[in-house]
Chain A
Amino acid sequence: MMNTKTSQKIAFSALLAVTLMVILPVLIIIIIIIREGISAINWQFIASMPSNGMRSGGIMPAILGTIYLVVLSVAIALPVGVLAAIYLNEYAKDNLLTRVIKLSIVNLAGVPSVVYGLFGLGLFVIFMKFGVSILSGALTLAIMELPVIITTSKEALNSVPQSFREVSLSLGVSRWKTVRHVVLPHALPGIMTGTILSIARIAGETAPILFTAAAFYVPRLPNSVFDQVMVLPYHLFIISTQIPNMPKNLSYGTALVLLMLVISMNLAAIVIRTYFRKRKKW
């Protein structure tokens, strides 16, 4: 029979070992990508057009394309998502309709990304005749972001103390003004964190934009939302699989840029959260 102390030690070490195994893949990915890709990173790589069948030159159009898509999709998804969250958290009664809405949100979050891509192709590209374009891609991504934005916004609204609402209501202030002036300002950091995290998630998505926005190669920058664009994840996919004699460091460099983009967004989310957490106390 082992004594309590020894068994406790063994249990703790086992738990620690398993936990460390979770960090390992993250570290290995980052280390390999940096080691292989850092030599490709310079100003010219970031700020110029690809040349020589993408075997040299930069990835500027892909970076810009990703940014366009992300910004436009958030501009669409954020208002819709926040308003829906306000409705669900502040107004909706617990009835059949509300339950159906909540169920759809959960299911929306579980749909595989390639299905979103096909859906976007059918609805935006073909039926609404937007063509393969920034607009179609952004709309598709927006639908994909919605469940995350709605869920996190709802949590954020829900965490505003009920007593704040009662104070405002007891002064004869209407429900909408209470939401607008008391609830929303205090839920804002949470809403922003959720939104940035959803951005970080969709910035690296390939499947939803594959049929709706992404182009293999466009010799010029897009002029309008109806143009096709190059995007980082898809660009990474084609230069790694479709182009023979591709310098290896360029693919890793592209991956590094994408990774940095996503990590910096996650960091921004953390900074915003801690900043606001310090400011508010009750």
Chain B
Amino acid sequence: MKRHLPLAHPATALVMATCAWLVLVPLLGVPPRYLPSLGRVVADAISVWPELLNSFLRTLSEAVLGFLAGAALGIAFGVAFARSRVLERSVLPLFIALQSVPVIAFGAVVVIWFGNSLLSKVMIALYLSFFPVAVSTLRGLQAIDEKRVALFLSFGANRMQVFWRLALPTALPSIFTGLKLAVSLSLIGAIVGEWFGDTVGLGVMLLQALYFEQVERIWVLIVVCGLLGTLLYGLLAFIERKYVWWRPA
């Protein structure tokens, strides 16, 4: 029987981090240019909470949509690669190359093609997130024991049944590893996309805080982005615990 990856309660982390911030910053005399006191950061957050909330929701939707699209595409490609060696050999390296092309570098092209809309952020989030899912899907499917497949087939199962009842379940833990990475990448994609001249979003607020060198605001956004990231990650981890509790034995 395998142990799976238990995540300690997120509440513990929150309490710990808050205590550390509250106590250590004044204690160690950390200059506010690096890490302002918790009180000031909270005050700053409260002063802009409507804008913060709007931005949070906007970035959340961009990241989620991009992630869902990227995950679907990634799994589809992963399965395709597992089926066809030719496809794997020719297209997978292309994807690897594409993955290393910094999407931020051709921002103008993205804006020209997809406008300043939600779509351009979703496309960037998709672009960044589909690759880890594809790779982990492929790996997961490749790790299947051939003897098991043979066993299934010997009992009269057809290819489809082998896929749904053996291959996919066996690969799911691996796929979820990829999904967890993809969700954080899609958040990065959403934020970077907002840097192409958008008006609402955590990325927009971050850029403006950066340019006006408002350290408190930067920390507010770091915390909020962290909350958003933890929310998404936690959701995935929850789904994983509920549906993917077994490990390949």
Tell me, yes or no, whether A binds B: no
Chain A residues packing against B (C-beta within 8 Å)? none
Identify the B interface with A (CB < 8 A).
none
